[in-house]
């Protein structure tokens, strides 16, 4: 199974996406990763051919429907098996998404007075898992006025998150919820109340035909000026090319039954902009990851994007 996210160098040492370039092939093993790795026409052609063959050999309809129907169960099994040991905590998000705490750091420099209501900034993480984003957010600044809602459709994941060291129920409200559901009436926040919504390697786990519905719901609950912060798997990522269980084009089942989709930046733009968002960033990182001890190189592809709900005119 490959559910690999970026596990590169410490966020305090590495630059943001798109700023480390391999100029000389002889230097390839100098770092753990290189940005904007150039693909040859031959590499791209091979990747496209592999995906084409995957579609031709898609799994049978009965198995596909069963995998889709049991998606929640498969994630429960996954978290029951791995608990909080599989994914690394996402400390890099403070480098890539500085907007989350930017408001606070500025005001602390200019005033020693308490100027914020305790819930002055409200964030929702969709698909929070066991808290690899939530816990670093809560620990980043214990005095932060950021309140975090987080949801996952795995009950096991939510219970594991609540048991994590660093979880603070006064600053965080986890709840079990499938964002693909038609109704959002039971969510614990009101429309136009969220400042940020995080999608970190999670939209790819949903059925492609439900992604625009999710974007429309998020648009309703974000404040005007609120931001979607997004990172997920990109088309022709190394992991995509290895898959055997293709459900349909660019959509796969892993060996453990969990599902994953691989995006283009155009698809991500369409999902959010069709819901009414303004695109602020949409970046494809074709990253060359390096195992320096084994002298192995691997092409990874991610998409990072930011979308804003327009201010009311």
pLDDT tens-place string over residues 28-51: 555 556 566 777 889 889 999 999
3-state helix, strand, coil in the chain (%, to 5): 35, 25, 40
Reported confidence tier of residue 304, pLDDT bands at 50, 70, 90: very high
**Could you tell me the CA-to-CA distances from 37 to 19, 158, 177 in Å, in that order?**
11, 37, 38
Reported confidence tier of residue 5, pLDDT bands at 50, 70, 90: very low
Q: What is the pTM of this model?
A: 0.83
Residue 1 is predicted with a pLDDT of 42
Question: What is the chain's mean pLDDT, rounded?
Answer: 83
pLDDT in tens, 140-162: 877 778 999 999 999 999 999 99
Contact between 261 and 233 under an 8 Å Cβ cutoff? The reply is yes
Which pair of tokens denotes residue 27?
């230097």
- Smallest CA-to-CA distance from 202 within 96, 306, 127 is with 127
Cα within 13 Å of Cα(254), Cβ side: 17
pLDDT in tens, 46-97: 999 999 999 999 999 898 888 888 888 888 888 887 776 656 677 788 888 9
Which of the listed CATH numbers 3.40.50.150, 1.10.3210.10, 3.50.50.60, 3.90.550.10 matches domain 41-97+119-284+304-309?
Answer: 3.40.50.150
pLDDT (average), residues 225-234: 97
């Amino acid at each position: 199974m490959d559910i690999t996210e970026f596990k590169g160098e410490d966020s305090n040492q590495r630059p943001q996406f798109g700023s480390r370039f391999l100029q000389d092939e002889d230097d390839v093993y100098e770092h753990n990763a290189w940005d904007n790795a150039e693909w040859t026409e031959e590499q791209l052609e091979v990747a496209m051919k592999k995906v084409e063959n995957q579609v031709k050999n898609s799994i049978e309809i009965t198995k596909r429907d069963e995998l889709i129907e049991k998606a929640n169960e498969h994630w429960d099994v996954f978290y029951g098996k791995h608990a909080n040991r599989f994914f690394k905590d996402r400390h890099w998000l403070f480098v890539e998404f500085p907007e989350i705490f930017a408001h606070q750091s500025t005001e602390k420099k200019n005033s020693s007075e308490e100027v914020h209501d305790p819930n002055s900034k409200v964030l929702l993480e969709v698909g929070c898992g066991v808290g690899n984003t939530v816990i670093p957010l809560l620990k980043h600044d214990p005095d932060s006025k950021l309140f975090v809602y987080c949801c996952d459709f795995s009950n096991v994941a939510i219970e594991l998150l609540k048991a994590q060291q660093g979880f603070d129920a006064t600053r965080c409200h986890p709840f079990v919820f499938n964002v693909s559901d038609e109704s959002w009436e039971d969510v614990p926040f009101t429309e136009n109340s969220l400042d940020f919504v995080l999608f970190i390697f999670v939209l790819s786990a949903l059925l492609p035909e439900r992604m625009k519905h999710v974007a429309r719901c998020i648009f309703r609950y974000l404040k005007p000026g609120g931001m979607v912060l997004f990172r997920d798997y990109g088309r022709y990522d190394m992991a995509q090319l290895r898959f055997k269980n293709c459900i349909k084009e660019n959509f796969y089942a892993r060996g453990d039954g969990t599902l994953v989709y691989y995006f283009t930046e155009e698809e991500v733009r369409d999902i959010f902009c069709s819901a009414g968002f303004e695109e602020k960033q949409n970046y494809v990182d074709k990253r060359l990851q390096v195992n320096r001890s084994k002298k192995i190189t691997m092409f990874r592809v991610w998409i990072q994007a930011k979308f804003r709900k327009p201010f009311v005119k």
